Chains A and B, each alone.
Chain A
Amino acid sequence: MLKSKTFVKKTRSGGVMKIVREHYLRDDIWCGSEACTECKQESTELLKDACIESNLCSFPHYLVPDTNVVLHQIDVLEDPVIRNVIILQTVLQEVRHRSAPVYKRLKDIIHEKEKHFYTFTNEHHRDTFIEREPGETANDRNDRAIRVAAKWYSQHLKKFEADTDGLCVVLLTNDQGNKQKAEESGLLVYRFEEYIKSLIANPELVDRLALSNNDKNEITSSKVLFPEHLPLSRIQSGIKSGSFLQGTFRASRDNYLEATVFVQGEGEDSTEVLIQGLQNLNRAVHQDVVAVQLLPRNQWVAPSSVVLQDEGAAKDDAVEEGEEEKALKISAAEAARKPTGKVVGVIKRNWRPFCGMLNISQIKESTRHLFTPADRRIPRIRIETRQASTLAGQRIMVAIDGWPKSSRYPNGHFVRSLGGAGEKDTEQEVLLLEHDVPHQAFSQAVLSFLPKMPWAITPEDMAKREDLRHLTVCSVDPPGCTDIDDALHCRELENGNLEVGVHIADVTHFIRPGNALDKEAANRGTTVYLCGKRIDMVPELLSSNLCSLRSNVERLAFSCIWEMNQKAEILKTRFTKSVINSKASLTYAEAQMRIDDVTKNDETTKSLRGLNKLAKILKRGRIEKGALTLSSLEVRFHIDSETHDPIDLQTKELMETNSMVEEFMLLANISVAQKIYDEFPECAMLRKHPAPPPSNYDILLKAAKSKDVEIHTDSAKALADSLDVAKVDGFPYFNTLLRILATRCMMQAVYFCSGMDSDFHHYGLASPIYTHFTSPIRRYADIIVHRLLAVAIGADSTYPDLMDKHKHTDKHKQSALSNNLNYRHKMSQYAQRASVAFHTQLFFKNRGILNEEGFVLFVRKNAIIVLIPKFGLEGTVFFDSKDKTGPNLVFDEEGPTLSVEQHAFHIFDKVKVTISLDASNIQHQKIRMALIDPVIPGVSVPAPDVEPLAKKPKIDS
C-alpha cells in the first residue's frame, strides 16, 4: 500500500545548505466524493448532487479554489451557499504560510459538516505530485500542482459520468496566466468574480467579493499620491543599520492627519515618533507595524492640538493636499517639537474587518461609496456595492483589501450588515466587534466535545468523589443569574467548631485539556456581561445547566472545606472533588431576608446565619490587615421585559450578603493559591495587584488637600485608614468621591505564572498571594487553577502544557495564556463600560433634557468632568467651543483649579448641569452636559423647564 519514491528537495537558507527530505507518494489517498465507487474510502465529504444554481454551470460541480482566491475571498467562501469545495493540500499549506487568521477560518469551514469541504492531500498522491522544474518559481509550481490536481479530479470523476449527470470540477482562479494554462489543458475554469456573479439565487454575495488587482486599476486615477513602500529586504537592512525605526503605528483619534509610531527600544525605554501629513503617513493604518525614517531636526514639529476629521464628500484623488494640511502648519515653539518622521514601509498589516457606516456617494448611480469606520483612528474606506440604498443607515462591516499608492483611500469590500444604526442589537454587535470579543456561536467542533444529553452522574464519577449531597448547601447570586458557579454551606461540628464549605462548579470535569472546547474557552478567556446580554465563555449547556449549581439537582463540584473555630480562625483546610445537591438558589435580597427574619429557623437559614457571622469576622480581620474598600459607581438598568429598553436605572445596592459571599470566595481563592503555589512553585497561575507608583496618587492627594484632608499613601493600610477618617462636615458624599478617586489611582490586577515573577502581592486585598478559583464557568484562569489543584490533590491527571511556565506567561509571546487572559479581561471590561454607556444614552434618549446635581471629579485645561451620583454617570462640560471664541480660561496645575471668567472650579465642587443626548453624529452619540449653576455669563445655560425625573417611569415614553 505504500509506494515509496524518494525525491530530493533543495532549499537554501542563509549560507548554502542542502536539505534533503524524503517525500513519499501514496496510492491510498481517496477523492472524497460520494459519487466515486473506485476509492476505498470510509466516509465521504463531497455530495453526489453538488448543486449551486449558476448561469455558468448548470450541472453539478465541485469547486477547486486556488490559494489567492482562498486568501482574499474567505468572506465569500464562509457563506453557507458555497458547498462542496475541494481544498487542495497545496492551497492549505500556502494559506497557512501566508495568513494565520485566514488559515484558522478555513480550518473552521473544513470542520463544518454542513459545508462539505474536503481536503485532498494532493502533494502525496501518486498521480498529482509534481516536481519543480528548472527555472520554475515556487508559485508557478504550486499553480501547476493545483491544475494537475484539478485535472486528475475531472478525469477521475469522468469514470462515473453515467450516474452523476455530468459531475465535474470547476477551478476558480483570479490569475490570468493560470486561467489560460488551465483552459489549454481542457479544464473548466472561471474567475472567482465571474463565478459568483453567475450564481442565480444569491446576488448579495457579489458585494462581499474582495477587489482584485485589475479592479483597483479602474477605480483609481493614475496619479501617484503616495511614495512607494520600500521592499522588506531594504526595510530590514535599514532597521539593522539604524536608519529606520520599527514600531506600531497609532493613529490619532482627533486628527486624521496625525499619528504616532511607538518604537520599543532596548529594554524598557521606548520612544514615540510623530508623523504628520498624508504623505508621511503613507497609507499606514492604525495598529500596523511600520518602519519609519526620522526627518532632519529642522523639520520636526509639535503635535497640533487641532481636532480634524476627514469629513464631507469623497475627496478627489487629485485634490491639492496642501489645502487639507494647511491647518496643521502652525509654527510651534522649539521646545514643544518632537521627533518627527515618515513611514517608509509597512512590515505587517494588522487589518481586521471594521464596523462603521456608509456615506452614500452623491452620484445616484455610482456603485462606489465611502465607508466611515466607527473607530476614528481608521481611515475611510472605499467600497463597491450595489445595495447602497439598503445599506444606508445600517451598521456594516468592511474589510480592507489594499491601498494602492495612487488612491486617496484604501479599497475594501463589504463583509456583512449588522443591522440598523442605533438599534440595540446592532450596537451591541458593534461594540463586541470593536472590543475584539469573540462572540460567534460555538462551532461544531467545539460543540462535539459537550457531554451527550441526558446527562447523569455515573457510578464511576461517584466512586471518585466525595458524596456531599446530604449537606445543606445553598447559593447566593444576583437576581436572574443562570450561571451559578459557587455554593456555600456551614454547619456546626460536634466539637463546637464550624465546618464551612465553598463548592465551585467542576467545569474541568467537562472541559478536558487540549480539545477544541478547551481551546475555544482559552481563547475567549472570560464571559462578557453586557446590559441584558451575556457572551458565554463555554457553551450554554455547560454554563447554564450542567455546571450551574442549581437547586435540587445533583451537580459535580470542587469543594474547599475548612474547619473553623468560632473566631473564624482556620484550623484545617481540605480540597476535594465532590457531588452536591444545592438546597436553594437565593438572590442576595432573599438571603438577606432569611437572615433578618427571626421566625425562620430552617437548616438553610441557620447555615446562612453562621456564614454571615464568620464573614463579618473575616472582613474585619482583612480590613485590619489593610485591605482597601474602594468605590466605583455601578448602575443597574431596569429593563423593560418586552422592548428591552432601559426604563429606569439605579446604582447598585450592596447588602450584607454580598460581602458574605465575597468574603468566602476570597478565602477560598487565597487558600487555593497557597496550596497550588506550595505544590507547583514554578507553574502556579496566580493573580497579583501591584502597588501603584507614588506619582499615581498625586491627583488624590491634591484633591484631598483642597478640602484640608490628609491622605497617607505609604502603604495600603495607611491609605485605607486615612480614607476611613476622611470626612468633611456637611458633605456626606465626600468620602465616596474620595474613594472613587482612589480607585482611579490603582493599577490593573493581572494573571501571571509563579515561576516568571517574584512579586506576588495583591495590594487591594492586602493578601500575600491570590488567585482565581471560584468562577470557572466565566473565567478561564479558574479552569487552569482547578486543574492545578486537582493534580495537587491527586484527583486528576496532569498534561504537559499545564506544567510549562512558558506557555502560561511569556513576555514576548502574545499567544501566552496569561497575556491573552489579561487582554480579554481588559477588553471585556471596556465592552461592559461601553454597553453601560450605550444604555445610558438610550435611557436619556427617552427622557429628553434633564437637570441634575453633580460633583466636579476632575479639572482639565478646558473642561471639568462632572459625576452625577444619581446615575453613576460621568460627563464632560467643555468651556471652549470650536466655532466661537471661548471664555477666558486660566488653569492652575497646583490646585488644580480652572478659572472661567470670574468663577474658579475646584475638585468636589457641587454643580448643576443639564443632561441631553447629542445625536448629531449617529455613529458617535454621546451624552452632552451643560452648566446651569453656578451661573457664568456666556458659559452656563439657562435651566430648561423640564419636569424633574419622573417618579413613576413612563413605560410608553
Chain B
Amino acid sequence: MAGLELLSDQGYRLDGRKATELRKVQARMGVFAQADGSAYLEQGNTKALAVVYGPHEMRGSRSRTLHDRAVINCQYSMATFSTAERKRRPHGDRKSTEMSLHLKQTFEAAVMTQLYPRSQIDIYVKILQSDGGNYSVCVNAATLAVIDAGIPMRDYVCACTVGFVDETPLADLCYAEESGGVSSLALALLPRGGQIALLQMDARLHQDHLETLIEAAMTACKGVSKVLDQVVRQHLEEVSMLTGE
C-alpha cells in the first residue's frame, strides 16, 4: 500500500524527531593506541570508525608526491555486517571509491596541507553500521580523528544530509527516509567561516528550493559542530587529567 509517511501532519518524522532535529550524536576520540589519531562516532544508528596515520613520508608510488603540500589519502569501507543485507565486498566497489574521493576532497579543503610538503596523510574510515547519512558520519568521525592526530585544520569539518519533503527540509536523514524517495543533499561545512567544503546531490530538486535546503543543511552542520566541539574539549580534559597537568 501507500509508502511511509515521512512527515506527519503533526510535524513528526518516522522516528519521532521534528524536521530540524538531529539524531543523537555520541563520539569518542583516541580509541586506538597504534594509530596517530582515531575516533569513533555514532549518529543515531550509523556508526563509523576513523583512523589517521601521518603525516609521514610518501609510501607506495613516490610519483604522487606534491612539493608544496601533503597528499591526503582516504579510504572508505563498509563492514560486511553494516547493512541489513550482508555486503559481499567491504571496499573497492564503485560506491566506496566515489565516497573515498569525496572524503579526500573534503579534507583537502580543511586540513592545512601546505604545512607538510612532500608528505602523506592517510585517513581510513569504516562504517560499522549503516543507517543513512554515511558520508556525513564519516566526515564527522574523520574530523575527530584528524584532530586526535594533532594535524592542524582550518576549522572542524562538519557534514550533514538534508532531505526535502512536503516543502519542508528534513535534517539528518535516517535510512528509511533516504530510501523513501526523498531528494537529499549532503553538505560539508567549515562552520566558523561558513565555507562549504563539499556539496553533493544526485536527486531531482527544483532550483527554487535549493536555497532553503542549503540553509537548513548549514544550520544542521553548525549543530553537529557544537557537539563535536564538546567531544574534543571533554577528551582534552580527560587526557590532561591523566597526564596530570
A residues contacting B by CB (< 8 A) are: 2, 4, 6, 17-26, 89, 93, 96-97, 100, 107, 110, 119, 121, 123-124, 514, 797-800, 804
Contacts and interface: CB of A to CB of B under 8 A. Distances in A.
Contacts of B176: 21
A100 B208 CA distance: 32
Interface stretch (B14-22, B56-64, B89-97, B143-151): B14-22
Given A26-B16, A96-B2, A97-B1, A121 B8 contact: yes
Nearest to B209: A800
A19 B44 CA distance: 14
Contact of A18 (B12, B23, B44, B84): B84
17 contacts: A4-B24, A17-B84, A18-B84, A20-B131, A21-B14, A21-B15, A21-B131, A21-B176, A22-B44, A23-B16, A89-B8, A100-B2, A110-B9, A123-B16, A799-B206, A800-B206, A804-B204
A124 B16 contact: yes
Closest 4 CB pairs of A and B: A124-B16, A24-B16, A4-B24, A22-B15
Interface in B1-50: 1-2, 5, 8-10, 12, 14-17, 21, 23-24, 44-45
B16 A6 contact: no
Interface string B159-194: 000000001000000101000000000000000000
A21 B9 contact: no
Given A123-B16, A124-B16, A96 B5 contact: yes
Nearest to A92: B8
Contacts of B1: 96-97, 100
Contacts of A24: 15-17
B205 interface: yes
Interface residues of B, number: 27
Nearest to A118: B10
Contacts of B23: 22
A156 to B, nearest CB: 18
B10 to A, nearest CB: 5
B85 interface: yes
Nearest to A801: B206
Contacts of A121: 8, 10, 12, 16
B205 to A, nearest CB: 7
A21 B174 contact: yes
Contacts of B206: 797-800
Given A20-B45, A21-B14, A23-B16, 19 more contacts: A2-B21, A6-B24, A6-B45, A22-B44, A22-B45, A22-B131, A22-B174, A23-B15, A24-B15, A25-B16, A96-B5, A100-B2, A107-B9, A121-B16, A124-B16, A797-B206, A799-B208, A800-B204, A800-B205
A413 to B, nearest CB: 25
B32 to A, nearest CB: 25
Contacts of B21: 2
A626 B37 CA distance: 81
A466 B176 CA distance: 48
A797 B167 CA distance: 15
Contacts of B15: 21-24
A941 B85 CA distance: 80
Contacts of A2: 17, 21
Nearest to A124: B16
A613 B16 CA distance: 67
Nearest to B21: A2
Interface string B107-135: 00000000000000000000001010000
A230 B205 CA distance: 46
A791 to B, nearest CB: 11
Contacts of A97: 1-2
Nearest to A32: B10
A327 B231 CA distance: 86
A124 to B, nearest CB: 4
A17 B14 CA distance: 20
A71 to B, nearest CB: 14
Contacts of B45: 6, 20-22
Contacts of B8: 89, 119, 121
Contacts of A797: 206, 208
B231 to A, nearest CB: 17
A858 B8 CA distance: 58
Contacts of B16: 23-26, 121, 123-124
B110 to A, nearest CB: 29
A107 to B, nearest CB: 8
A522 B79 CA distance: 48
B9 A119 contact: yes
Contacts of A93: 5
Interface in B73-108: 84-85
Interface in B197-236: 204-206, 208
A373 B205 CA distance: 49
Nearest to A802: B206
Contacts of B24: 4, 6
A800 B9 CA distance: 21
B167 A514 contact: yes
A816 to B, nearest CB: 15
B148 to A, nearest CB: 26
Nearest to A123: B16
A819 B223 CA distance: 46
B128 to A, nearest CB: 13
B177 to A, nearest CB: 11
B5 to A, nearest CB: 7
Contacts of B10: 89, 119, 121
A23 to B, nearest CB: 6
A606 B199 CA distance: 61
Nearest to B203: A800
A2 B20 CA distance: 12
Nearest to B15: A22
A870 to B, nearest CB: 53
A19 B15 CA distance: 13
B84 A124 contact: no
Contacts of B167: 514
Nearest to B5: A96
Contacts of B5: 93, 96
Contacts of B129: 20
A804 B129 CA distance: 35
A741 to B, nearest CB: 47
Most chain B CB within 10 A, of A4, A24, A89, A93, is at A24
Nearest to B14: A21
A20 B45 CA distance: 8
Nearest to A4: B24
A921 to B, nearest CB: 41
A2 B174 CA distance: 17
A107 B9 CA distance: 9
A123 B16 CA distance: 8
Contacts of B12: 121, 124
Nearest to B83: A17
A21 B14 CA distance: 9
A800 B204 CA distance: 8
A799 B208 CA distance: 8
Contacts of B174: 21-22
A193 to B, nearest CB: 29
A326 B82 CA distance: 67
A798 B208 CA distance: 8
Among B10, B24, B85, B208, the most chain A Cβ lie within 10 Å of the Cβ of B10
A110 B8 CA distance: 13
A119 B11 CA distance: 11
A678 to B, nearest CB: 21
B220 to A, nearest CB: 15
A867 B17 CA distance: 67
A600 B8 CA distance: 64
A24 B174 CA distance: 12
Contacts of A18: 84
Contacts of A100: 1-2
B88 to A, nearest CB: 15
A97 B4 CA distance: 10
A110 B10 CA distance: 11
A26 B18 CA distance: 10
